[in-house]
Amino acid sequence: MSKTLVEKIWDAHVVKSETGFPDILYIDTHLIHEVTSPQAFDGLRKRGLPVLRPKQTVATADHNVPTINQLLPIKEELSRYQVDMLTKNCAEFGIELYGLGHPFQGIVHVIGPELGITLPGKTMVCGDSHTSTHGAFGAIAFGIGTSQVEQVFATQCLLQQKPKTMKIEVNGKLEKGVTAKDIILYIIAKISAAGGTGYFIEYAGSAIEALSMEARMTICNMSIEMGARGGLIAPDQTTFDYIKGREFAPAGAEWDKALEYWKTLYSDADATFDSVLKFSAEDIAPMITYGTNPGMGMGIKEHIPSTNSQPDKEQLSYQKALDYMGFKDDSSLIGKPIDYVFIGSCTNSRIEDLREVAEFVKDKQKAENVTVWIVPGSKQVEQQAKNEGLDKIFEHAGFQLREPGCSACLGMNEDKIPAGKYCVSTSNRNFEGRQGPNARTLLVSPLTAAAAAVTGRITDVRDLLVEA
């Protein structure tokens, strides 16, 4: 019987399937961090259980860490306690921890791929909704709650309903200045913040196949922003080339065996999806969000849709979002002054993102009215940026290159955007208060963020690329 990629991987991991019950799904790799794990470890203690497969579990500290002076004790007491708890819990339960100071430390969804832990055909979970990132390798990867973290600790399995499948095809060639982030913001704007709920999404088509692994991660990362449990892309030569030689990737005979299996990981030509959507790359412009959910996005030169054009029942929430942002119906955002630029997060903090920004800002400087933070996704990304001299370019531009962590993506650690300020951000969520109480977030690609940093205003990066 023909199968989709999701079905192939899912079926290979079902421990038990019984009518009337969710499947018992085996989990190959469990990633954990300091925020969503302590209550799960406590649960194990209360039940008197060990972590069943500690070697299939990897930990890092990312959400709650400062991004300057990381080797000093964390100033904020509760944050410090939470990070210390992770260290203690990992030691007690025998889990490898890449904590602060470790050369592998970083955002959980950046380190998995760069260490060769994320591999095609795997099932992977983490107590973080952006676990969908790992789907870029052709893995089933999704975010879970803390009770489920405890479940995976205790059993290396999860009780899960098999998801519905959706295929999103993007064909054609992207215009210069348009990137993977714009593709995914475009898709979300088209299908809404709830349009993918209940589905696992497979991204396909020539525009997706042409993307690098890091760009594919940006796409899969934001699957959750349309409500999808996960998103994935069939592995191909780009995938295999990226994985080969990484720290924990298979090598030698193991590599050959793995590769043989990975090459079977694609949706069969006649496999049926529950839903299929198609988009043209040529229709996609650099995107920006204007509201308080990632579905409220538009081409950067477009005007904000009017409240009246929204369905009746949604007008109140829509108006509330525009009021929060300080924006008006039918207005354009081009030329609007901004206060902060944040380049980072599990969506866009990898070396290619930093290279792209550096190439654009080389010999340029930030506008005076803007504070610019660049937060690399991991110690390895940070080191690579320095090896390539990107740090000098950022320094000259007046950008702050900070240390790895989730930083201003989520307003949890020390890095917060002040109330009322506008932040042009490469992160994934523009919810009210996401980057700090009353902060206003505009989601964009790294290239669009770099353009805003240089002009101090919302800018169509294509206009600057033409000049260059």
Partner 1 sequence: MRKFVRLTSAIVPLNIENIDTDQIIPARFLKATTREGFGENLFRDWRYNGDNTPKPEFVLNDPTYNGQVLVAGKNFGCGSSREHAAWAIQDAGFDVVISSFFADIFKGNALNNGLLPIQVSDDFLSAIFTAVGKNHKAQLDVDLENQTVTIADTGEQTNFEINPYKKSCLINGYDDIDFILDQKSLIEEFEQKR
Number of residues that bind partner 1 (CB under 8 A): 68
In what helix (H) or strand (E) does residue 391 lie, and over which residues does it extend? helix 390-397
Q: d(Cα 362, Cα 171) in Å, to the nearest integer?
A: 32
Tokens of 54: 């500690």
**In the set 6, 189, 410, 458, which binds partner 1 (CB under 8 A)?**
410
Strand partners, 277: 168
Of 82 and 455, which CB lies nearer to partner 1 in the complex structure? 82
Number of H helices, E strands in the chain: 16, 19
The answer to the question of residue 8 lying near partner 1 (CB under 8 A) is: no
Phi, psi of 24 (to 5 degrees): -90, 110
Asked whether 202 and 233 are in contact (CB, 8 A), the reply is yes
Q: Binding residue for partner 1 (CB under 8 A) from 99, 121, 143, 446?
A: 143
Would you give the end-to-end CA distance of the chain in angstroms? 53
Name the DSSP letter for residue 133: G
The smaller minimum CB distance to partner 1, of residues 24 and 259, is found at 24
By C-alpha distance, which of 263, 265, 264, 244 is closest to 255?
244
- Using CB under 8 A, which of the segments 105-113, 189-197, 383-391, 451-459 binds partner 1? 189-197
User: Which CB, 81 or 383, lies closer to partner 1?
Assistant: 81
Q: Which stretch binds partner 1 (CB under 8 A): 181-189, 272-280, 358-366, 430-438?
A: 430-438
Q: Is 319 in the site for partner 1 (CB under 8 A)?
A: no
Angle at CA of residue 164, ends 158 and 166, nearest 5° = 125
Cα dihedral sign, 285-286-287-288:
negative
- The pattern of x and - marking residues 438 through 467 that bind partner 1 according to CB under 8 A reads x-----------------------------
Residues 88-117 that bind partner 1 (CB under 8 A): none
Which of 105, 129, 221, 378 touches partner 1 by CB under 8 A? Answer: 129
d(CA 270, CA 117): 31
Element (H, E) at 182: helix 180-191
Q: Which of 54, 116, 172, 198 binds partner 1 (CB under 8 A)?
A: 198
Q: Is 82 in the site for partner 1 (CB under 8 A)?
A: yes
**Is residue 60 a contact residue for partner 1 (CB under 8 A)?**
no
User: Judged by CB under 8 A, does residue 261 bind partner 1?
Assistant: no
Q: Is residue 256 involved in binding partner 1 (CB under 8 A)?
A: no
Q: Closest approach of Cβ 152 to partner 1, in Å?
A: 10
Closest distance of CB 459 from partner 1, Å: 28
Interaction residues for partner 1, span 221-240 (CB under 8 A): 224, 227, 229
Quote the longest CA-to-CA distance of the chain. 65
CA distance 236 to 233: 9
Contact predicate 258/250, CB 8 Å? yes
At its nearest, how many Å lie between partner 1 and the CB of residue 16?
A: 5
39 touches partner 1 (CB under 8 A): yes
CA distance 112 to 15: 25
What lies within 8 Å, CB to CB, of 414 at 6+ separation is: 66, 67, 75, 76
Residue type, 292: T
Residues 176, 320, 362, 386: which binds partner 1 (CB under 8 A)? Answer: 320
Distances from the Cα of 242 to the Cαs of 113, 238, 295, 386, in angstroms? 9, 6, 31, 21
Residue of 81, 103, 245, 309 that binds partner 1 (CB under 8 A): 81
Given 9, 58, 59, 412, the residue binding partner 1 (CB under 8 A): 412
Residues in contact with partner 1 by CB under 8 A are: 15-16, 20-22, 24, 26, 35-36, 38-39, 42-43, 47, 52, 63-64, 78-79, 81-82, 85, 127-129, 131, 143-148, 150-151, 154-159, 161, 193-194, 197-198, 224, 227, 229, 292-293, 295, 313-314, 316-317, 320, 410-412, 416, 419, 429, 431-434, 437-438
